[in-house]
């Protein structure tokens, strides 16, 4: 359904997609990870990398840390809200993380990120959202916001289509700065308690190495496609897989949605 022109090719190694645990196991792991001590010296050896390797590392971090809504396209409505705990696992460039002094990829060759997410419906087909999270086994934290507009409300026979604008920032590091923005379209259709959805977008990232003059500023654009399903059985649950640039992310969440 969605085609992109001029797909960016690079020599970056894309890890094979890995199977992910079922929802309860994933979320339980996220809770445990979120209370583990953080490492205070993430990327303490960043200067070991070349400029190209630094850019690959930052692109990998961008794929992991940019805003992920993990939600269908339907508007929540003025009285609606969605609050959830989430966990994402993103393919990792293990060798680069090890050489740069980062421990984030030690578990299952993935970048693991537990998050707390909230969405609120507004008038005129608008929803707003926010997220806070942390990259496991690092000193990096993430904050993000989104604004979603319903282009097509959807109905009994018609799907919903929404436009989402988002921004996120990586915090907590004295070595790197990284900001992500994204624009996405999400198409979804509800069937009883299940709402499958699919979407595509563009993630733009800007960053730099702090106090390391040998690295030029980082700038990248990565195309993104994603699909998922939301299940509301009293406890609201969702699973999603997205491919951003060369990297695959698996996400799961559980919470309340009304």
- Break the chain into its structural domains and give their ranges: 23-257
DSSP 54: H
Question: Do strands 141-152 and 110-121 pair parallel, antiparallel, or not at all (unpaired)?
Answer: unpaired
What pLDDT does 33 receive? 44
Q: Residue for token digits 């992109």? A: 4
What pLDDT does 183 receive? 98
pLDDT tens track for 56-109: 999 999 999 999 999 999 999 999 999 999 999 999 998 898 888 866 655 468
Residues 6+ apart with CB under 8 A from 228: 70, 72, 196, 197, 238, 239, 240, 241, 251
What pLDDT does 108 receive? 60
Per-residue tokens: 202: 């563009």
Is residue 180 within 8 A of residue 205, CB to CB? The reply is: yes
Is residue 45 within 8 A of residue 39, CB to CB? The reply is: no
Per-residue tokens: 197: 């959805």
What percentage of the chain reaches a pLDDT higher than 70?
81
Is residue 65 within 8 A of residue 89, CB to CB? The reply is: no
* 3-12, 26-35, 114-123, 150-159: range with lowest mean pLDDT: 3-12
Is residue 168 within 8 A of residue 144, CB to CB? The reply is: yes
Fold of 23-257: Porin (2.40.160)
What pLDDT does 154 receive? 87
């Amino acid at each position: 359904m969605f085609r992109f022109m001029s797909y960016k090719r690079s020599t970056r190694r894309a890890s094979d997609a890995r199977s992910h645990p079922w929802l309860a196991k994933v979320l339980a792991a996220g809770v445990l990870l979120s209370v583990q001590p953080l490492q205070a010296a993430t990327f303490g050896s960043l200067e070991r990398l070349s400029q190209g390797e630094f850019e690959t590392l930052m692109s990998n971090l961008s794929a992991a840390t940019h805003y992920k809504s993990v939600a269908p396209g339907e508007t929540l409505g003025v009285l609606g809200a969605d609050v959830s705990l989430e966990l994402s696992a993103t393919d990792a460039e293990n060798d680069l993380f090890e050489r740069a002094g980062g421990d984030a990829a030690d578990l299952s060759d993935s970048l693991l990120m537990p998050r707390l997410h909230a969405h609120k419906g507004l008038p005129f087909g608008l929803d707003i959202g926010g997220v806070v999270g942390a990259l496991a086994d690092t000193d990096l934290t993430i904050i993000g916001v989104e604004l979603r507009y319903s282009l097509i409300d959807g109905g009994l026979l018609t799907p919903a289509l929404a436009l989402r604008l988002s921004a996120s920032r990586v915090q907590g590091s004295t070595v790197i700065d990284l900001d992500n923005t994204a624009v996405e379209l999400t198409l979804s259709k509800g069937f009883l308690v299940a709402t499958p959805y699919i979407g595509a977008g563009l993630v733009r990232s800007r960053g730099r190495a702090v106090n390391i003059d040998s690295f030029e500023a980082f700038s990248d654009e990565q195309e993104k496609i994603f699909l998922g399903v939301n299940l509301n059985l009293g406890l609201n649950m969702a699973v999603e897989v997205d491919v951003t640039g060369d990297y695959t992310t698996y996400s799961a969440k559980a919470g309340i949605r009304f």
